[in-house]
Amino acid sequence: MSKGTIGVTSDNIFPVIKKFLYSDHEIFLRELISNAVDATQKLKVISRQPSAVSIPMDDLRVRVTIDKKKKTLTVSDHGIGMTADEVDKFINQIAFSGAEEFLNQYKDKAEAIIGHFGLGFYSAFMVSKKVEIFSLSYREDAKAVHWSCEGSPEYTMEDTIKAERGTDIVLHIDDEFAQYLEDATIEGLLKKYCKFLPVEIAFGKKKEWKDGKEVELDEENIINDVNPAWTRKPADLKDEDYDKFYHELYPTQMDEPLFHIHLNVDYPFNLTGILYFPKIKSNLDVHRNKIQLYCNQVYVTDEVENIVPEYLTLLHGVIDSPDIPLNVSRSYLQSDNNVKKISGYITKKVADKLAELYKADKDGFAKKWDDIKMFIQFGMLTDEKFYEKATGFALLKNLSGEYATLDEYMDKVRDKQVDKDGNMVLLYTNDPDAHYTFIERAKAKGYDVLLQDGELDVHCMSQAEQKHEKLRFVRIDSDTIENLIKKEDAAKDAYTDEQKEGLRKAFEALLPTSEDKLRYNVTCEAAAADALPVFLTQNEFMRRMKEMAAHQQGLSFYGQMPESYNLVLNTSHPLIQELVGKEVSEQVNEEVEKDGKKETVLKTVCKLEGEDDRMKQLIDIALLAGGQLKGEALAKFVNRSVELL
């Protein structure tokens, strides 16, 4: 038996390991199993060497066992094992990374070697008061070795007897961490970290319900799928296989994904994976299932914010890359060149796939549009490169439920919806019921109306306007249709400015006393004769700014502005025409405050003798049509209507 001190520079590394190295204690299991899988993979590589002695390869499973009495958790493998010299070199001299040496030796031939996580083996001390290694190397005439260490830099090493090749790592679990002696905890961790490891991991026996009881079968309980879909060739997989894998990944997810993207690059970095576009029903779903990051089939994290562009973090699936630096800080990740390239690659790949899907089956793609719209718009707004590609498949939907890209749609409406200044005007509504009369008027003119009721639609319209010089989106209720798309032959009325000003003032005097948050602006327009005599419109720019202010901090100024509407008097309407010219000016005394003193001034007001009720009625009809007549005002309107009848 030999004794020694573990070769680390720090006098006592264990407290460091326990406290600071990993905040997540549970990852010790991932580390030990990764080592066991590595040792097994190494054996496979060696057995394929021409000079190799024949190595029996029948049972390569990694087994995890719990002994409750002895309070131990053991990870056993039938991999290459270690000689006493190797334990000394790889375990005692912590600075050596065996994996690194091995990789150098077998450079291109090595199958996925997982040992990149850093202090791997030593993480066992995070949860153990004592760790033992029993190992028998695959080498001819090797002697088995037993290493033991009780969480201080001193260890013991001696020969031992071990029947089978490979390594058992025995953890004597600290009382403080008794949960790691529970089957359920360990099974949960194995499912989290080891579900797709390339070597079978066995934990206990399979169980089955029989006659109302759970009985153990002879068969071992295998935790993992050693050939998960992303490691296979796309050509070998059918849609069903992708769907099946989706459910393997998210066992609680009931819905099928909308479609998938299989990622596969080996230059200039290594990355494989499958991304799924999920059906999003609620916010809850978004946060429940996330993209999982793997490193050579070992689960690392589901926090992929810096690796995947933000708008794609809502997707589901897996990304596997040995080239993503793992145990490093987030800010480092952001500046890492590989990570940037990976993010760019994923963007391109996702955009190409979407373009391909749209080209191959426009109707099929359109059916999925409402579900994927949010990702794509989010991407277009935040990533210029993605925007450029997405113009080929980002769709607009009109009120008849027809879908088209912006370019396709502009071609469709070009004949009719270009105004006299050459601007293309695209009409939209976010609420077809509320805008019913406006929509009917537009349709009567042969115009098309888009349905833009998505969260990000306003932002996307502004973005499209910035990209296309002569393009404007206007909500259907933002003005009279004649004003929205102005043509050369626009109708004019025959009234003088004074007449119209009088009319305006007369109506203004009867407006409901508005609260601070609501403001009406009275204007005269020669709209269509069959349009309403008085109606409300809302300026597109101001309204849009207010809507965008809800999402963007810089615009909060607009958010505080009062809601303002135009009350349009339609001078083409007979009811309004009857009123023109009937105004009489009256001089009235009004008290005003000037420099803190009250003064009486003479003011001119316009009135329409004996027409108050009719005008009030017209205003109320406009408010009613605009959904703004409520409470007492509505009751008054109803009563007045009855009286007038």
- When asked if residue 77 is in the footprint of ligand ADP (CB under 6 A), the reply is yes
CA angle 295, 148, 116 (to 5 degrees): 15
Max CA separation in the chain (angstroms): 119
Would you call 419 exposed, middle or buried from its count of C-beta atoms within 10 A (0-12, 13-18, 19+)? middle
Stretch that binds ligand ADP, among 35-43, 46-54, 358-366, 432-440 (CB under 6 A): 35-43
Q: Does 91 bind ligand ADP (CB under 6 A)?
A: yes
- Give me 505's structure tokens: 């003032």
- Of the candidates 14, 28, 121, 250, which one interacts with ligand ADP according to CB under 6 A? 121
How many CA within 13 A on the CB side of residue 155? Answer: 26
The Cα 568–Cα 575 span in angstroms is 13
CA angle 378, 539, 572 (to 5 degrees): 140
Which residue, 25 or 279, is less far from ligand ADP as judged by CB?
25
Rounded-to-integer distance, Cα 629 and Cα 621, Å? 8
Stretch near ligand ADP under the rule CB under 6 A, chosen from 115-123, 226-234, 565-573, 628-636 = 115-123
CA dihedral 303, 15, 178, 222 (to 10 degrees): 50
Q: Is 120 in the site for ligand ADP (CB under 6 A)?
A: yes
Contact between 98 and ligand ADP per CB under 6 A = yes
SS3 at position 303? coil
Among 47, 65, 74, 97, binds ligand ADP (CB under 6 A): 97
Q: How far is the CB of 9 from ligand ADP (least distance, A)?
A: 16
Stretch (H or E) spanning 267: none
Q: Is the peptide bond before 268 cis (omega within 30 degrees of 0)?
A: yes
Closer residue to ligand ADP in complex, CB, 31/383: 31
- C-beta of 117 vs 193, nearer to ligand ADP: 117
Q: Does 28 bind ligand ADP (CB under 6 A)?
A: no
Instruction: Based on the shown chain and the rule CB under 6 A, indicate whether residue 425 belongs to the binding site for ligand ADP.
Output: no
Footprint of ligand ADP on residues 150-179 (CB under 6 A)?
Answer: 167
Q: Quick check: 536 binds ligand ADP (CB under 6 A)?
A: no
- Amino acid (one-letter) located at 114: I
Spatial CA neighbour of 402 closest among 392, 391, 413: 413
Nearer to ligand ADP, 79 or 533 (CB): 79
| Among positions 35, 313, 417, 499, the unique one binding ligand ADP when judged by CB under 6 A | 35
Q: Name which of 199 and 449 has its Cβ closer to ligand ADP.
A: 199
Task: Give the separation between CA 270 and CA 265, rounded to whole angstroms.
Answer: 6
How many residues sit close enough to ligand ADP to count as binding (CB under 6 A)?
A: 21
- What are the start-end ranges of the E strands in 44-191? 62-67, 72-77, 128-136, 144-149, 154-160, 166-173
Interacting residue with ligand ADP among 21, 99, 333, 522 (CB under 6 A)? 99
Please pick, from the candidates 22, 26, 79, 472, the single residue that binds ligand ADP as defined by CB under 6 A.
79
Q: Choose the stretch contacting ligand ADP; rule: CB under 6 A; options: 47-55, 73-81, 306-314, 597-605.
A: 73-81
Q: Report the length, in residues, of the chain.
A: 645
User: Which residues are near ligand ADP by CB under 6 A?
Assistant: 31, 35-36, 39, 77, 79-82, 90-91, 97-99, 115, 117, 119-122, 167
